[in-house]
Amino acid sequence: MNTDKNIQDKIDNFLKENRINITGGTISSEEELSEVLNNIAMSDLQKGKVDKALYFVNKAKEFNSKNYYTLFMKGLIYRYTKKYNEAIEMFKEYNTHTNDKLSYIYIGFCYAELNDGESALDYFRKCEKEFSEEEKNQYGALMSTVYECMGNIYINKENILEFYEDDKFKLSYKLAIKYFKMSLRSNKENHMLLNKLAVCYYHFEDINKALYCFEEAVKISPENAAYLEAIEEMKEIGAIPEKVEF
C-alpha cells in the first residue's frame, strides 16, 4: 500500500527525471500531477513537439486513470498528425466518459478532413442543435470555423450532382450562403470567406450582391488581382453593389 511519503517520492522523482520545475506551489497528489502534465502536453503540441506531447499525455493517464481529458488531448495529437480515424475514436471515447459536446466539433473536423462530408455534417448539426447560445458564444472562433466548413461541404456537393438536378444545386448553394454568412458574423475580416460568398451569389446570377462581397473582400486584401478583376468585370456589365447582411 502506498503511503503519502511513497506517493510524494514518486511525484518528486518523476519531476526530477523529466526536468519539470514547479513554481508557485508544490504537487502533492498524483491527480494534481496528472493535470499539470495535461498542460505541459498541450504546450508541447502547440509548439509542434508531438512526441513529447504524446509522452506526457500517456503519463498523465498513468498517474490518474480517471483523467479523461487525456483522451481529448490524444485526439488533438492524432488530428495534428493526420491520423484522423484514430483521432475520431479518441474524441468519441472522451465523449462517452464526459458527454462534453466540444468533441462533436473535432469529430466533424476529422470527418471533413477525411472527405466524408455527410458524417461531418451530422456532427456539425449536433453542435447547432445541442449547443446553447452561451456555448456557441463561448466557442465563437471554433463555431465560425464549423460554419465555414459546412458551407464548404455544401458548395462542394456540386462535384457529385448531375447538372440537370437544378433544385439540388439551388439547395446546396443556398445552404452554403447561409453558413458562410453565419461564419462571417464573427469573422468579418476573412476575405477568402467573402470570396466564397461572392461565388455563391454569382452562381445565382445575383451579381449585385456578388459585387458587394468582392468589394468587401478587396478592402481587406487590396492587392488581390482576382478580386479587382471580378469587380471590374461586374461593373462593366452594369452591376451595382447591394449590401449583404451577415
Instruction: Report the candidate in 93, 150, 144, 95 with the shortest Cα–Cα distance to residue 117.
Output: 150
pLDDT mean over 148-166: 70
**Position 75, amino acid:** G
Residue 86: inside a domain? yes
Of 2-16, 91-105, 130-144, least confident by mean pLDDT is: 2-16
Other residues' Cβ atoms within 10 Å of the Cβ of residue 31:
12
Question: For residues 58 and 77, what is the distance between their CA atoms, to the nearest angstrom?
Answer: 12
Give yes or no for a contact between 244 and 208, defined as CB atoms under 8 angstroms apart: no
At residue 162 the predicted structure's pLDDT band, cuts being 50, 70 and 90, is very low
Is 80 exceeded by the pLDDT of residue 156?
Answer: yes
Q: How many domains does the chain have?
A: 1
Exposure on the CB side of residue 106, measured as CA atoms within 13 A: 28
Q: How far is CA 200 from the centre of its chain?
A: 23
Q: Which residue range forms the structural domain that includes residue 84? A: 1-99
Higher pLDDT among residues 155 and 86, named by residue: 86
Whether 22 is in a domain gets the answer: yes
Domain-embedded: residue 119: no
Task: Note whether residue 19 is domain-resident.
Answer: yes
Torsion of CA 218, 222, 223, 225, to 10 degrees: 20
Residue positions counted in the chain: 246
Q: Is 68 inside a domain boundary? A: yes
Do the domain assignments include residue 153? Answer: no
Whether 200 is covered by a domain: the verdict is no
Residue 51's CATH number: 1.25.40.10
- pLDDT band, very low/low/confident/very high, at 166 (cuts 50, 70, 90): low
CB 92 within 8 A of CB 103: yes
**Inside any domain, residue 143:** no
